[in-house]
Structure 1
Amino acid sequence: MKLITQEEADAHQAAVVRGGVRGLLTGACVAIPTFTTAYYKTTYYRTLPLPLKAFGVVIVLVPSMIISAEKAGTDFEKAQWRGSGQDELNAIELRERRKWESMNREEQIKSWAKDHQYSLVGGAWAVAMVGSFGFVWRRPGLTTVQKLINARIIAQTLTIGLMLGAMALTYVDPEHTPPKEPDHSWADMLERDATDKERAEREQAREKLLKAHEKFREGQKASAKVVA
């Protein structure tokens, strides 16, 4: 296991911060025009309380910042791989791409949903919160506290349903779920290293043989001159 240096840790941290700032700016470029347009074009949006408007901005900016920062950190880590590690990453990526191409449309949708189930639940939760607040806020005869409680209950109910759906995607029909392929990455890397070592040894032996052959020919030429 390779121990990272302080410089590498600082570089990783800088990459994560840059990714977070980039995601924050991207979210702001989406949120500011959207909510500004809603403010000037929609009377209903202007009547919403300030905390709810701020919440709408936050649920756009924060996920965008976190996702972008995490992706920047992952990309930085992948860029540091060299030699056998990089070869193994390329091999894994190739296997995943071939597996994806061999699936039909339904299998691709299920596979994508399984891989991104937490993102789907989180995004659906944010949409459910905003939708429930907007739905409840239009109901007359309720106080602000009652509206907040009702909106929270509706959002929690929808979130629980989404989580159950995500669990169903993971655990439903286990008999038809193909077994997970064992991870032979370390074995593959060791085998590749051994192959590279053998290839290098063969090259060295070949070079030594060529040098010996050249010396032999030079010796033959020298002997022929002496005889002549």
Structure 2
Amino acid sequence: MKIVTKEEIEEFDKVTRVGAAKGLALGLGTSLPLSVLAHRISPTYRAIPLPLKAFGVVMLTSATTVIWAERAGINYDRERYSQSLYGSEELERQRQAEKEKEKQIKTMDKLKEGLSDHRYSIIVGGWAAAMAGAWAYISRDKYMTTSQKIVQVRMWAQGATIAMIIGTAFAAQSERTKLKEHKPVDHSWMTQLKENPEQSSIQKVTTA
């Protein structure tokens, strides 16, 4: 088990912030020009109130910001702790073991694992998709005012988000339960000593 130091926590926070900044720049740099372009060429989009247009830009920008921050944190964990705990040969062995494991596990297990690993991206992306889909459907109603449409879209998006949060939480909890029942034991140090017996001799001399 590796003890996380204060410096590593600060470095992780820095990496996550950089990822969030990149996502913010990408989201804002994409959604804002698209909104301006749609305003110029689409009469329907021009009829949408300015607060709703701004909300759409904020929604897309927030989604990319969260997704990029999450991915930056995941990549940092994989690179930092894998390299510090294991040698290159052991990492390659683990990669091969993961490939074999992927071939054996069922599709439902893969789905649960994916939901658990990327739950924040899925929730934010699903919320954005629910907002867009609900607006595309409700905007066709000619008898509702714009304010009523916005309220309806928000309610649909909130309901979809709550459902996704419950689903991802259930998947994460079932994964934790499975790990507790079948907690893997790390025997990589035994494999490395078998392949490099001189390290064992050095350790014995050092501790003698």
Residues of 2 paired with 1:182 and 1:194: CA distance?
A: 25
Residues of 1 paired with 2:31 and 2:191: CA distance?
A: 49
Shift of 1:90: 4.5
Aligned equivalent of 1:94: 96
Residue 46 of structure 1 aligns to which amino acid in structure 2?
Answer: R
Aligned equivalent of 2:5: 4
Correspondences of 1:134-153 after superposition (within 5 Å): 134-153=136-155
Residues of 2 paired with 1:194 and 1:116: CA distance?
A: 34
Q: Is the 8 A contact 2:130 2:160 kept in 1?
A: yes
User: Where in structure 2 are there 5+ consecutive unaligned residues?
Assistant: 172-177
Aligned equivalent of 1:131: 133
1:196-228 deviation per Cα after TM superposition (whole angstroms, max 9, x unaligned)? 6744245899xxxxxxxxxxxxxxxxxxxxxxx
Residues of 1 paired with 2:59 and 2:87: CA distance?
A: 36
CA change 1:86–1:122 in 2 (3 A) is farther
Say which is worse superposed, 50-59 or 155-164, in terms of deviation.
155-164
1:67-117 deviation per Cα after TM superposition (whole angstroms, max 9, x unaligned)? 2122222222333334544566554433222333567xxx65x55543344
Percentage identity across aligned positions?
25
1:17-62 deviation per Cα after TM superposition (whole angstroms, max 9, x unaligned)? 1111111122223323322222212111111112221221122111
Which of 1 and 2 has greater Rg? 1
Q: Is the 8 A contact 2:63 2:128 kept in 1?
A: no
Moved over 6 A (4+): 160-164
- Please tell me whether residue 29 in structure 1 is matched to residue 29 in structure 2: yes
The residue matched to 1:37 in structure 2 has which SS? helix
Residues of 2 paired with 1:201 and 1:116: CA distance?
A: 39
Shift of 1:63: 1.9
Say which is worse superposed, 92-101 or 9-18, in terms of deviation.
92-101
User: Where in structure 1 are there 5+ consecutive unaligned residues?
Assistant: 171-178, 206-228
Q: Is the 8 A contact 1:84 1:193 kept in 2?
A: no
Residue 188 of structure 2 aligns to which amino acid in structure 1?
Answer: M
Residues of 2 paired with 1:40 and 1:151: CA distance?
A: 24
Q: Is the 8 A contact 2:39 2:46 kept in 1?
A: yes
CA change 1:54–1:97 in 2 (3 A) is farther
Q: TM-score, normalised by structure 1?
A: 0.63
Q: Is the 8 A contact 2:127 2:161 kept in 1?
A: yes
Q: Is the 8 A contact 1:133 1:147 kept in 2?
A: yes
CA change 1:156–1:5 in 2 (3 A) is closer
Residue 54 of structure 2 aligns to which amino acid in structure 1?
Answer: A
